[in-house]
Structure 1
Amino acid sequence: MAEYKSDIEIARAASKMPILEIGAKLGIPSEDLLPYGHDKAKVSADFIRSVQGRPNGKLVLVTAINPTPAGEGKTTTTVGLGDGLNRIGKKAAVCIREASLGPNFGMKGGAAGGGMAQVVPMEDMNLHFTGDFHAITAAHNLLSAMIDNHIYWGNELGIDTRRVAWRRVMDMNDRALREIVCSLGGVANGFPRQGGFDITVASEVMAILCLATDLKDLEKRLGDIIVGYRRDKSPVYCRDIKADGAMTVLLKDAMQPNLVQTLENNPAFVHGGPFANIAHGCNSVAATTTALKIADYVVTEAGFGADLGAEKFFNIKCRKAGLKPAAVVIVATVRAMKMNGGVNKEDLGKENVDAVNRGCANLGRHIENVKQFGVPAVVAINHFTTDTEVEIQAMKDFVASQGSEAVLCKHWANGSAGIEDLAEKVVKIAESGSAQFSPLYPDEMKLFDKINTIVQRIYRGSEAIADKSVRDQLHAWEAAGYGHLPVCMAKTQYSFSTDPNLRGAPTGHAVPVREVRLSAGAGFIVAICGEIMTMPGLPRTPSSEKIRLNDEGFIEGLF
């Protein structure tokens, strides 16, 4: 079936169970599920509180090599592994992120897995879902409106309008809004100043929602947001503007994790969605920690390659939430190895073992990096029909030379039946207790040293470079008591360097840090590297040109 039907056709033909029955598989009473239709629901805060005393299940992280146009299938493997673990008798749940409208209408077209390893309802997940992103956008922009309103009505807090740090957001790729001048049009519209928009998934409110443990913690973190500075450079906080209470109200329902199901009717939590190239790239702490209390195995993913998503999962999410992963799965494909080995996309169907061997350097780097965190890694070879036995064996041999094992996975075509071997391997690793997780750097390390540590140990660059103004800003934040925070690197996902065209496993490159931003509420420093943008643009031919309703009223173009 998967050989000739599109993802959306497969998803549409799915035999879904009522969401209350999916919740029952995890022991969630029907009264603690707040349904959004028949196939999705939010899990109540009361239920989440009630399970906190239970022991945790095993946490498995799915990450990948650096993404290529050839495709890797990280979410597909996450979903497939969750199904595979259930197939071999384990009580497993999947935890993934929600999809942003920006890339769905830009390049992706959808983000819910693929083939026979998908989360449904696919159309809802890729569009408005349960409204979480809209709530985050509204809460963020409420604060923006209240800042400018405060300035308009006399500016009692003495905010320096040149130093307003809080930008606006929208959940769409729109490069025209990266830098704007607002409040034009005369006295009635306020004081003109320079501003700009980021995409919602880069919002600090998104990061806060994904790292907060409950509504009380959420409100405190929102209050801690620094919105700008006075002329003496002292900070002005969100709670000074008195916006934290109303923002929490807007986020009350968004804070509750969403429960949906896989094609094989296994539970999946889909909640939160910070990008990994410009934010911390993990689903919510609330969803992950809740799943760990009610499932024996929780399979979660971190965005893009392990140099971004896994590094942030370990150094930010695990550090903040006290999580200890038991195993890591690194997803790779023969096609991507060949592309990393210098093969053009149109030639990927031809057997080329030499290119596979050359491209494996990228995979090897990720294996080494994951092991630095003390967590054992297994490689999932996401199978394509054009892969040859010799190419697959070349990958397996390479991974074996790195002290790990590669397992061929056919979940895209065969669902859980195609990934049983990986599920068995993950269980063996997780139950061996061999993981000795620790973050890459200690809290007390200087901020720029933390950036440099990631550059040298994860990207294998020579050093991070930054202007004096960036270094001075970091020193000022250390003096203000923020030196203990982890760093969140905003960098291209396509390379270990800041050059998206430099594939493979480069070494010795410098990583320029263009700007740093303090996310005091979320609890990390964002280091913006190279040319990365916190508001993406649409490609020359965006996916939105092909997305439409057909004559039967069904959506086409979301793939």
Structure 2
Amino acid sequence: MASDIEIARAAKLKPIQEIGERLDIPSDHLLPFGHDKAKISEEFIKSLAEKEDGKLILVTAISPTPAGEGKTTTTVGLGDALNAIGKNAAVCLREASLGPCFGMKGGAAGGGHAQVVPMESMNLHFTGDFHAITSAHNLLSAMIDNHIYWDNAQEIDSRRVTWRRVLDMNDRSLRTITTSLGGVVNGFPREAGFDITVASEVMAILCLADDLEDLQKRLGDIIIGYRRDRSPVYCRDIGADGAMTVLLQQAMQPNLVQTLENNPAFVHGGPFANIAHGCNSVVATKTALKLADYVVTEAGFGADLGAEKFFDIKCRKAGLKPDAAVIVATIRALKMNGGVAKGDLGIENVNAVEKGCSNLGRHIENVRQFGVPAVVAINHIIGDSDAEIQAIKDYVEEKGAQAIISKHWANGSAGATELAEKVVELAESGTSQFAPLYQDELPLMEKISTIAKRIYRAEEVLADKKVRNQLKQWEDQGFGKLPVCMAKTQYSFSTDPDLRGAPTGHSMPIREVRLSAGAGFIVVICGEIMTMPGLPRKPAAESIHLNAKGEIEGLF
């Protein structure tokens, strides 16, 4: 079969105005970026307020492995299949970061015959949203140092500036830096650092804001540092929120593109699934729900990190109520969870599949804790044996659910119609009783403990006095009702990335906590997790180039 980029390049794209017509979006409310992508105007979005919402479907997955699970591919394939069986459906995805694209993960537009296009543009600069977020974030960084340099009217303690800089690239050398060297004219030297753009609080804010007014309010709420008396200094205190909003005005408008089968796709925002909530923007999801009868969206990584944050942060804050969930698994990934080495995944091993199913079972149990009915999608890969497939189906049936084989990667919508029909059955059944895992009023430490014990099955949470005192201080300052955003390895329920399957009885150490007052959550960093990734020994960038025709090669 052809590569992802070859399939995408051969696609017959329709003008973006035709895709808009499918959703009754007038062409004068589309801001085109070329012929195949456009932004939707804020004016049109506001006009939809009284329309009834469609059904919301979440696609999540088992714990990720190097073998791959195909969550985005399944999201796209399911969206196409829903349209193929006569439903008016749209998909909602995150935008791709340049960091993993040039690192080791590759693109983020799906794969095979279940992709969103234009694939090259989506994985590179797209409509410039990430550049706008990077610029707005770093404008605030510059204004902080400038404020301190001239008169420091807010009496910012330069030792307690918490706002870092960002770059949409994996560059480990920038994790910790020293700024303002070179003499008096360059300011006051201090230790600082860079995070990747998707870890920026500005990214999280853009993805949770309802409109431009809410965006500016949230930007103003960002805590940039502290005075000597430990009182917080906010972004609005140095007058940066207005200019940041100007830079983000166009970026706030959702992007409309299409699938290989010319069905509508909203691609907007992309917060880091480790550090932030890992979902596409609220404004894109809400807009899609007003325009389509079924909206299929995804959350980052496995259901423990992604689905939990989707439910407890995005749905809680945006008032969303999902109607059904799809948990994606591959036989290869389940084998890895069952202890098989990557080089041996092509060999039939039913016992390893059965052993690895414990990870799948844990995710099924976790999704059920939120009251959302779920189906398992076995993302089919060539070489999967009938016996291995049956082992998964039998296991899932014992769990009181159903596993459906889906061949969207090879066959597009035709390979996912059975999955689509089951999703419609669940969504229309009215059985969803969605509720967040914990109440707003619960103390912050108890929220952390609830997630650690109920989702990760940890025996205990380890937090030193400094962390506990910080949480108590934030509660005293009025931040106690915020949800918590767990930042940890995506590869395990524990903080040990090599501990696969469904471990229990482990400890969850909290390294530090961060207040994202603008985004509206507390980040809880567990174990060793990086907010600025590094490139692997052999980065994907080494294989990306232009061919003799000026076409991009090596992007996947």
Residue matched to 2:336: 339
Q: TM-score, normalised by structure 1?
A: 0.99
Give the 3-state SS of the residue equivalent to 2:478 in structure 1. helix
Residue matched to 2:141: 144
Cα deviation per residue 1:281-340 (whole Å; 9 max; x = unaligned)? 000000000000010000000000000010000000000000000000000011111111
Q: 1:477 aligns with which of 469, 474, 478?
A: 474
Q: Does the aligned pair in 2 maintain the 1:93–1:266 contact within 8 Å?
A: yes
Q: 1:330 aligns with which of 327, 332, 336?
A: 327
The structural deviation recorded for 1:551 is 1.2
Residue matched to 1:114: 111
What does residue range 9-88 of structure 1 map to in structure 2 within 5 Å?
Answer: 9-88=6-85
Give the 3-state SS of the residue equivalent to 1:349 in structure 2. coil
Please, which moves more after superposition, 291-300 or 342-351?
A: 342-351
Q: 1:546 aligns with which of 518, 530, 543?
A: 543
The structural deviation recorded for 1:344 is 1.0
Cα separation, 1, equivalents of 2:459 and 2:542:
42
The question of 1:492 aligning with 2:489 is answered: yes
> Which amino acid in structure 2 is aligned with residue 293 of structure 1?
K
The structural deviation recorded for 1:464 is 1.5
Q: Does the aligned pair in 2 maintain the 1:274–1:281 contact within 8 Å?
A: yes
Cα separation, 2, equivalents of 1:370 and 1:471:
29
Residue matched to 1:558: 555
The structural deviation recorded for 1:109 is 2.1
Cα deviation per residue 1:415-460 (whole Å; 9 max; x = unaligned)? 0000000000000000000000000000001111111111000000
Q: Does the aligned pair in 2 maintain the 1:143–1:243 contact within 8 Å?
A: yes
Please, which moves more after superposition, 461-470 or 514-523?
A: 461-470
Cα separation, 1, equivalents of 2:272 and 2:377:
23
Residue matched to 1:134: 131
Cα separation, 2, equivalents of 1:240 and 1:286:
27
Q: 1:450 aligns with which of 444, 447, 457?
A: 447
The question of 1:521 aligning with 2:548 is answered: no
Give the 3-state SS of the residue equivalent to 2:346 in structure 1. coil
What does residue range 257-406 of structure 1 map to in structure 2 within 5 Å?
Answer: 257-406=254-403
Cα separation, 1, equivalents of 2:462 and 2:553:
46
Cα deviation per residue 1:10-66 (whole Å; 9 max; x = unaligned)? 000000000000000001000010000000000000010000111100000000001
> Which amino acid in structure 2 is aligned with residue 209 of structure 1?
L
Q: Does the aligned pair in 2 maintain the 1:364–1:399 contact within 8 Å?
A: yes
Cα separation, 2, equivalents of 1:178 and 1:385:
41
> Which amino acid in structure 1 is aligned with residue 286 of structure 2?
T
Cα separation, 1, equivalents of 2:231 and 2:136:
24
Q: 1:196 aligns with which of 180, 193, 198?
A: 193
Give the 3-state SS of the residue equivalent to 2:541 in structure 1. helix
> Which amino acid in structure 2 is aligned with residue 59 of structure 1?
L
Q: 1:436 aligns with which of 433, 436, 441?
A: 433
The structural deviation recorded for 1:204 is 0.3
> Which amino acid in structure 2 is aligned with residue 409 of structure 1?
S
Cα separation, 1, equivalents of 2:313 and 2:461:
20
Show structure 1 runs of 5+ residues with no match.
Answer: none
The structural deviation recorded for 1:466 is 1.3
Q: Does the aligned pair in 2 maintain the 1:109–1:557 contact within 8 Å?
A: no
Cα separation, 1, equivalents of 2:242 and 2:136:
10
Cα separation, 1, equivalents of 2:287 and 2:460:
39
The question of 1:6 aligning with 2:3 is answered: yes
Residue matched to 1:247: 244
> Which amino acid in structure 2 is aligned with residue 47 of structure 1?
F
Cα separation, 1, equivalents of 2:179 and 2:440:
38
> Which amino acid in structure 2 is aligned with residue 199 of structure 1?
I
What does residue range 164-243 of structure 1 map to in structure 2 within 5 Å?
Answer: 164-243=161-240
Cα separation, 2, equivalents of 1:353 and 1:157:
64
The number of aligned residues is 556
> Which amino acid in structure 2 is aligned with residue 140 of structure 1?
H
Cα deviation per residue 1:182-227 (whole Å; 9 max; x = unaligned)? 1111100000111111100000000000000000000000000000
Cα separation, 2, equivalents of 1:470 and 1:337:
36
Q: TM-score, normalised by structure 2?
A: 1.00
Cα separation, 2, equivalents of 1:491 and 1:127:
27
Q: Does the aligned pair in 2 maintain the 1:450–1:487 contact within 8 Å?
A: yes
> Which amino acid in structure 1 is aligned with residue 524 of structure 2?
A
Give the 3-state SS of the residue equivalent to 1:54 in structure 2. coil
Give the 3-state SS of the residue equivalent to 2:343 in structure 1. helix
The structural deviation recorded for 1:92 is 0.2
The structural deviation recorded for 1:385 is 1.0
Cα separation, 2, equivalents of 1:403 and 1:391:
19
Cα separation, 2, equivalents of 1:279 and 1:228:
20
The percentage of aligned residue pairs carrying the same residue is 77
Cα separation, 1, equivalents of 2:91 and 2:450:
31
> Which amino acid in structure 2 is aligned with residue 502 of structure 1?
L
The structural deviation recorded for 1:550 is 1.0
Please, which moves more after superposition, 245-254 or 334-343?
A: 334-343
Cα separation, 1, equivalents of 2:69 and 2:465:
39
Q: Does the aligned pair in 2 maintain the 1:168–1:196 contact within 8 Å?
A: yes
Give the 3-state SS of the residue equivalent to 1:552 in structure 2. coil
Show structure 2 runs of 5+ residues with no match.
Answer: none
Cα separation, 2, equivalents of 1:236 and 1:67:
39
**RMSD over equivalenced CA pairs, Å:** 0.5
Cα separation, 1, equivalents of 2:170 and 2:527:
19
Give the 3-state SS of the residue equivalent to 1:416 in structure 2. helix
